[in-house]
Amino acid sequence: MGGAREPIGVIGTGYVGLVTAAGFAELGHEVWCVDVDEEKVARLRRGEVPIYEPGLEELLVKHRGHLHFSTDLADALAHARLLFVAVGTPPTYSGDADLSAVHAVVDAIPDADDRSLVMKSTVPCGTGASIQRVLKEQGRTRLSYVSCPEFLKEGSAVKDFLEPDRVVVGDNGDWAGDAVVALYEPLGAPLVRTDIQSAEMVKLASNAFLATKISFINEIANVCEQTGADVVEVARGMGLDDRIGPKFLQAGIGFGGSCFPKDVDALKQLAGNSGYHFQLLTAVIEVNELQKRRVMSKLVKHLGGLVGRRVALLGLAFKPNTDDMREASSLVLSARLAADGARVSAYDPIAEEEARKLMPGLEFADSALAAVEGADAVVLVTEWPEFRDLDWAGVAEQMSGWLVIDGRNALDADAVRAAGLVYEGIGRA
């Protein structure tokens, strides 16, 4: 073994696991994937892809002969010395990360000199140390441990794997760290090789910082509304400063997804558990919660009461190019609208199946034009590219009202107004 074509094991075939597996297959590795979900494994074996992620299906098809799926950990153990752990770490009621799936994997891996856990799952800082402590107590001292956090964005995860901004490897300076570094070498990305705690913290701090950037620009947007400035112009002016940068400065109706809300909470909780009150993150979370409700006051301002009013939501996923509904702003918004007596219709190009499970009271339409039929107001919730090119005259004809709220500042305001509609964005006078 060793060298660029080292076989690898991937435990957990969610977003992170599947993309990691497909990415390593693309780099020429034989990949042994394991998941406890029998149905999922059966689907993957048949060549079905359980999630929507651009480019993923192509890679899974292309490397079908080199990707092996099983519910039996023994298959991966028989072939690979590096076992990437990519199982879920959802939040618990206390705000801590639930590490039971991680611990189950650790417990199941037999001790061996030439074997290492490679942690991809996002875990609290200190998890690697505590896992190693437990292993030692159990006398399992031969197993190595590496932290290798992932920074994949849904919707561009395959590209992010193959063209990462950086690769972070935290380890004890043994063979396993060297082997993981070697795996990523062909990608030519800057490498941060460090200790395990620091690697874990890089991941949490990066996500918390990006979330802070979003809540910051959302607060600037809210002040812009009071002062007559346009947050899109303000963000453009700020972003040209190299020290600030233009990314993650798009104001809107809040961040969602599987990572930011969870990781910000987890870092705040981690700090709290160790006796430090992370004030900034408390505000980041609160600003985001309020921002998800911000559309409500805009609707009321224009329409008065919402009882019996029809509101159409364009887009439901937490961001474009994914069917992921986790922590999506649409969930908060649709629940608030229903509570205030509005009738809500919605259209999302991909996320409908997921959304149906979570939003029972919603009327689902099969196109944007069908969703806006009879609507008093239209709210852009997710900036799918197809909504930018909507025929606004056609929309105006379908609607019974005239209000368009652009929750992502993604539409061409002039085009909307030219159709005789009233346009209102976030943070734009």
**How many other C-beta atoms are found inside a 10 Å radius of the C-beta of residue 361?**
10
What is the maximal distance between C-alpha atoms in the chain?
A: 73
17 vs 257 by CB, closer to ligand UDX: 257
Which residue type occupies 292?
Answer: K
Which residue type occupies 224?
Answer: C
Question: Mind telling me the catalytic residues?
Answer: 259
- Angle between the 127-137 and 196-227 helix axes, to the nearest 10 degrees? 150
162 vs 370 by CB, closer to ligand UDX: 162
CA distance 207 to 209: 5
Nearest Cα residue to 278 out of 125, 93, 120: 125
Q: Which residue is nearest to ligand UDX (CB)?
A: 259
Q: What is the CA radius of gyration of the chain?
A: 23
Q: Residues in the site for ligand UDX, rule: CB under 6 A?
A: 150-154, 207, 210, 214, 248-250, 252, 255-257, 259-260, 318-319
Considering the complex, what minimum distance in angstroms separates the CB of residue 11 from ligand UDX?
A: 18
Considering the complex, what minimum distance in angstroms separates the CB of residue 209 from ligand UDX?
A: 10
Q: What is the DSSP letter of 260?
A: H
Token duo for residue 152: 């994949």
Nearest Cα residue to 330 out of 352, 309, 308, 310: 352
Considering the complex, what minimum distance in angstroms separates the CB of residue 256 from ligand UDX?
A: 4
CA distance 115 to 181: 15
84 vs 318 by CB, closer to ligand UDX: 318
Considering the complex, what minimum distance in angstroms separates the CB of residue 109 from ligand UDX?
A: 24
144 vs 207 by CB, closer to ligand UDX: 207
71 vs 206 by CB, closer to ligand UDX: 206
Considering the complex, what minimum distance in angstroms separates the CB of residue 396 from ligand UDX?
A: 27
